[in-house]
Chain A
Amino acid sequence: MSELVVKAQGLTKVYKLFAEEIAAVNNIDLEIRAGEFVSIMGPSGSGKTTLLDLIGCLDGITAGRLEILGTDVSHLNESRLVKVRRGQIGFIFQDFSLIPTLTALENVQLASYFAGNGQAKDTLREALEKVGLGHRINHLPKQLSGGEKQRVAIARALVTRPKFLLADEPTGHLDTENSQQIVEVFKRLNEEEGLTIIIATHDARIGAQTGRVIYLQDGRIAS
């Protein structure tokens, strides 16, 4: 059996909104193994993004226990969490989140720089070629289509050779054709390279193409 990438027990995240406490993630038990392609689905406000933030070590948990790649991150502070994130977790956001002043290549290079990896042009170019953008490396984000921007974001996430990818509504800003192209990129990375991918989506057609669907409702796993 492959190693555990994510292991959550009673995972809870509570936000305080004035006097009210809201459990965005409520007592979740979850295991995700290396090589899985998992989608987290559910309606708006069901806790998909919060769960992804916790798995991505972007936020601390309120209660329960969370292990990422075998490390207990339940009580780590931000400076420790960054060490877990760096180079091990790749992030893809709904709005692409590229740095507008940097070219496609430089956006990828920046992630490599922050991760403390080498900045050899060949490696960076390879990451962009892997997502079919080898011919657009010197273009600024504003010169790229939505689908191309998201592929640069995927290349940026891949360049640090992460153990798993987290994608929050990666097709939310794309049309059907571009959405499918992005999903195909994910499927290929999962099938050919065995990369673990966890995506949050509300699109059932995308969920249907992943290996496992986790359905959230009111911060709990419904199915």
Chain B
Amino acid sequence: MNVVSVAYKNLKRKKIRSALTVGGVAIAVAVLVSLIGFDKGYQQSLTANVDKMGYQLLVTAKGCPYEAATLMLKGGGGLRYMEQDIFEKIQNDPRIDSITPQLVSTVYDPDRLDGQGGFAMYMGITQSYLTLKPWSKFKSGGWFSSETAEEAIMGYEAAEVEQRVVGDQIYIPSIDKVLTVVGIFERTGTQDDGIIFLPLKTTQQIFSLAGKLTGVGIKLKNIYEMAAFEEDLYAEPGIQVISMAQVKGTILNLISSAKILANSVALIAIFIAAIGVINTILMSVFERTREIGVMKAIGASKLDIFKLIWSETVLICTLGGILGSGLALLGSGVVEYVLKQILPYAPTGRLVLIEPVLLATAFAGAVVLGIVSGLYPAWRASSMRPVEAIRTGE
């Protein structure tokens, strides 16, 4: 026999009350684990997404940089157009390692998604696209037959959604155009998976956007030259330059206020859980005043009583920690789904990343919560004078 086994049996005395208190701690732990997991997962996914864009700088037509950042990450065109001349002018800069022009256009297709309707995204590219994104491999088929071919290469998901294979013909309703699928990319885990790629010149021609681009992606030979390079580009009228580091920062800024709010909620949840634990144990101590007095009479020291009551609190929080960690792990899919629905921009990949270290930290945190919350009730119980405790309960 030891105090922990006696404490455990004491908790079983009022099963519903103990279960509710454990539940309170579990919910607080689950909320905290989910939020920290989200913080980590979101940043990691965003970083992976940005890194997989392949370029460090994006030149677009002048407009709202926040809008441009979000739209570019989502794969959409800012749908502001810049002149292709700018591309021609800067492509030979010796500081550039690789450069690729892009022209994005979105078309509403009422037959998309089994008749529900939706936007299909088309992007005009050149061979340099593959230089900037060497991880873009063909699952089947290959590159366009010519720069003006009426052909398409589909991203992995775009092909899956429309159930297309190489050789199929796809129809663009608003412009009444039919294209032949010549290639399908492997999955990249980025927004590119949902895009239908066309030759740049074909895109300019069929969407009546001759000489226009929505963006130019640039990778420099030396990343330390970025600031000077950006400065030079700003000499060109009508354009803005966005570095991918800026994009990342912008998106993180966009969600930072939501994160502060969510973290506050988590802290409040933990505070309420701690109050709940203290309340439960104090109530239990007061109910057992006479019993505590009798234990002192039969030989229990102050320390024995302190350890007994403390163990009850730590047990509640430990069980809450285990349950809460499990809840966060099992519920991360649901949390991820909900977040994807409400966030203005959600990168591809896991949004809620719950690693073993996080679970272990949360569990240790719950134990610490128990240790701290148990101090006052344990002190109250151990300080009771035996004769008063025995007579109080009579």
Say whether B387 faces chain A, with CB atoms less than 8 Å apart. yes
Chain A interface: which size bin? 20 to 34
**Is there an interface contact between A114 and B295, defined as CB atoms closer than 8 Å?**
yes
Q: How many Å from the CB of B6 to the closest CB on chain A?
A: 7
The answer on a CB contact under 8 Å between A79 and B302 is: yes
Contact B299 A115 (CB under 8 A): yes
Indicate whether A91 sits within 8 Å of B298 (C-beta atoms), given known contacts A58-B386, A102-B6.
yes
From B297, B298, B386, B390, name the one whose CB has the most chain A CB atoms within 10 angstroms: B298
Given known A58-B297, A78-B302, A79-B302, contact A110–B1 (CB-CB < 8 A): yes
Q: In the complex, A79 Cα to B304 Cα: how many Å? A: 12
Cross-chain contact of B291 among A56, A99, A119 (Cβ < 8 A): A99
Of chain B, the residue at the smallest CB distance from A157 is: B298
Residues of A within 8 A of B290 (CB): 97
Of the candidates A53, A58, A90, A109, the one whose C-beta lies within 8 Å of that of B1 is A109
* A86-B299 contact, Cβ under 8 Å, with A78-B385, A109-B1: yes
Q: Which 4 A-B pairs have the closest CB atoms?
A: A114-B299, A59-B387, A101-B9, A86-B299
Chain B residues within 8 Å of A101, by CB: 6, 9-10, 12-13
* CB closest residue in chain A, given B10: A101
Instruction: Give 1 or 0 for each of B287-303: 1 = CB within 8 Å of chain A CB.
Output: 00011001111111110
- Closest chain-B Cβ to A76's Cβ sits at a distance in Å of 13
Whole-angstrom distance between the Cβ of A3 and the nearest chain B Cβ = 22
Given contacts A97-B290, A97-B291, A99-B291, contact A111 B10 (CB under 8 A): no
Query: Which residues of chain B are within 8 angstroms of A78 by Cβ–Cβ distance?
Result: 302, 385-386
Pick 30 A–B contacts, CB within 8 A, sort by A.
A53-B387, A58-B297, A78-B385, A78-B386, A82-B299, A85-B297, A85-B299, A86-B299, A86-B301, A90-B298, A91-B297, A91-B298, A93-B294, A93-B390, A95-B394, A97-B291, A97-B294, A101-B6, A101-B9, A101-B10, A101-B12, A102-B6, A106-B1, A110-B6, A111-B298, A111-B299, A113-B1, A115-B298, A119-B1, A160-B298
Q: What CA separation (Å) do A86 and B13 show in the bound complex?
A: 27
The A-contacting residues of B in range 1-39, CB under 8 angstroms, are 1-2, 6, 9-10, 12-13
Q: Which of A59, A79, A119, A156 contacts B298 (CB 8 A)?
A: A156
| B295 neighbours in A (Cβ, 8 Å) | 99, 110, 114
Total B residues in contact with A, Cβ cutoff 8 Å = 24
List 9 additional contacts besides A87-B299, A110-B1; criterion CB under 8 Å. Answer: A58-B390, A78-B385, A99-B6, A100-B13, A109-B1, A113-B1, A113-B2, A116-B299, A119-B1
Q: How far is the CA of A93 from the CA of B290 in the complex (A)?
A: 11
Interface residues as binary, B272-314 with A (CB distance below 8 Å gives 1, 0 otherwise): 0000000000000000001100111111111010000000000
Q: Give the Cβ gap from A189 to chain B, nearest Cβ, in Å.
A: 17
- Chain A: CB-nearest residue to B302: A79
> In the complex, what distance in Å separates the CA atom of A172 from the CA atom of B390?
16
